[in-house]
Amino acid sequence: MIAELVPSLAPDVLAEAEDAVAEMARFDEGMGSEVRPYSAVLLRGEAIASSDIEHITSSARNISLAEETGGDRTGNASLVAANVRAMRQAIDHTTAPDVRGVLTLHEHLMRDDPRHDAGSFRTEQVWVGGHASTPVGAHFVPPHHEHVPDAVADLTSFATRPDLARMPQLAITHAQFETIHPFTDGNGRTGRALMHVMLRESGLVKHGVVPVSAGLLTDTRGYHEALDTYRIGDPEPIVRLFTSSALKAVGNATRLVAEVREIRQSWDGLVRARRDSTTWRVADLMLRFPVVTAKTVATHLKISPTNVPRAMAPLREAGVVQSGTHHATRSAYWWSPQITDAVDDFAVRAGRRKL
């Protein structure tokens, strides 16, 4: 149990952690009024990175398409789209860093997977590594399932303490969550979504998303080794890793925001439409939703679905968007290759394999 833990960390570890926290705050504050479109892009990048740590990988286009159309709910794109949904829940100011919040995040993540009981703690023993039929020889055996509710309650008490340095609190909470392993599946993704609830609740991140998972993805081996070291009583490696990951994430995210901003500015010189045309509102919407259907555009811009193709026409003629039909749902959609490519490039820089 860690509710009353006072972490013992070297002064240089604490100093570096505080530097990283300051960088995260500066990045978030710098987004300011621009938060809405760029936060959506960063959220997808974070969800992609968090999923890829667990070897669940898909392209930004397919993930956005799965978000938009539903489609096949068993493929990787749908799994990552569910992670986007959980991440959005984490930052939308309705989820608290408590037991109910943890269950809510898991429910959003796993509700389309009939193999697992979404939003409920496990009721069986699980283990990591070794043979599927026995925990003998497993790499790690989490606590018995009867202890999970109390262990998560204890963890959330630690996560909400106001007396702790932010980065160590974030790193140790995450490591403890992974150690408890409260669900049969989706533990890593739920735990990393919980990080964003904590960042928001602490006031450290007020405007958007700092994609910490994208930093962790740069060193997945170090991530798993740090978790192992934490489990034998040493929290320093996981705190160091979170510190370096946060700094890498800020650098990568800054580049992504700059690229998306430049892409949108370039459209002003390519698209031929009146300045009061709905086309420009659609262009801005594509930053938040790089794949859209007529229904989505109509809902967000308060226009008739029948008017969407006309608003899209100048963007298509300029090569800014392309159109397609989803193979499973037969739904027509439009997408921005430049925006999805920028998100894919972000994920590759973070360490995802090229698709």
Q: What does the alpha-carbon distance between residue 264 and residue 38 come to, in Å, rounded to a whole number?
A: 11
Lowest mean pLDDT among 39-53, 62-76, 199-213: 62-76
Report the candidate in 246, 308, 183 with the shortest Cα–Cα distance to residue 19: 246
| Ramachandran category for residue 299: left, alpha or beta (phi over 0 → left; psi -120 to 50 → alpha) | alpha
- Fold assignment, 269-343: Arc Repressor Mutant, subunit A (1.10.10)
> For residue 169, is pLDDT > 70?
yes
CA dihedral sign of residues 120, 122, 128, 130: negative
**pLDDT tens digits along 210-256:** 889 888 888 889 999 999 999 999 999 999 999 999 999 999 999 99
**pLDDT tens digits along 112-151:** 777 788 899 999 998 888 777 788 878 889 999 999 999 9
> For residue 355, is pLDDT > 50?
no
Q: Which pLDDT value is given to residue 33?
A: 59
53 pLDDT tier (thresholds 50, 70, 90): confident
> For residue 163, is pLDDT > 70?
yes
> For residue 301, is pLDDT > 80?
yes
Chain region(s) in the chain for CATH 1.10.3290.10:
11-256
Q: Which 8-state DSSP code applies to residue 334?
A: E
- Fold assignment, 11-256: Fic-like fold (1.10.3290)
3-state secondary structure of 276: coil
Chain region(s) in the chain for CATH 1.10.10.10:
269-343
Q: Which pLDDT value is given to residue 273?
A: 95
The pTM assigned to this predicted structure is 0.88
* Percentage, residues of the chain above pLDDT 70: 95
Mean pLDDT of the chain: 90
Q: Which amino acid is at 160?
A: T
